Amino acid sequence: MQYMLLLYNDEKEWAALTDDERTEIVGRYLAFSDSIRESGNYIAGAPLQPTSMSTSVRVREGETLVTDGPFAETKEQLGGYYLVEAADADEALELAARVPGARYGTIEVRPVMPIPARAPA
């Protein structure tokens, strides 16, 4: 079964780190990514640009509303994701606990709902 590991952290804390500290953390992420590629759990993953680079889109009563930034102000922001294959929720939780950001942020584990293929019309 596929699971999304959604990585949340405080962007202000990240920005306050030294270059050496950020390099060390990125190295941990690269090692983790390599390990789950080797184990066959990795499907996809990527870091995200900061929320200052985001745009939110809403359609209300037929009108498209576009605003800068995230939908809600929160202490932690979505900073990246991994899409993984795991035998069950327990394995997905074990993978999430190994994500470097679990030590200072939050890793949300969410099962992916498969979309069945539609028969041609």
How buried is residue 50: exposed, middle or buried, by Cβ count under 10 Å (0-12/13-18/19+)? middle
What residue type is assigned to position 22 of the chain? R
Q: pLDDT tens-digit profile of 43-71?
A: 999 999 998 899 989 999 999 999 887 66
Percent of the chain exceeding pLDDT 90 equals 79
Q: Nearest to residue 80, comparing CAs of 29, 6, 30?
A: 6
pTM of the model: 0.88
**What are the domain boundaries of the chain?**
2-111
What residue type is assigned to position 30 of the chain? L
**Which of 3.20.20.70, 3.30.70.1060, 3.40.710.10, 2.60.40.10 would CATH assign to domain 2-111?**
3.30.70.1060
Q: Nearest to residue 49, comparing CAs of 70, 21, 23, 63?
A: 70
Task: Indicate left, alpha or beta for 42 from its phi (over 0: left) and psi (-120 to 50: alpha).
Answer: beta
pLDDT at residue number 86: 98
pLDDT at residue number 119: 84
Cβ-contact 89, 72 below 8 angstroms:
no
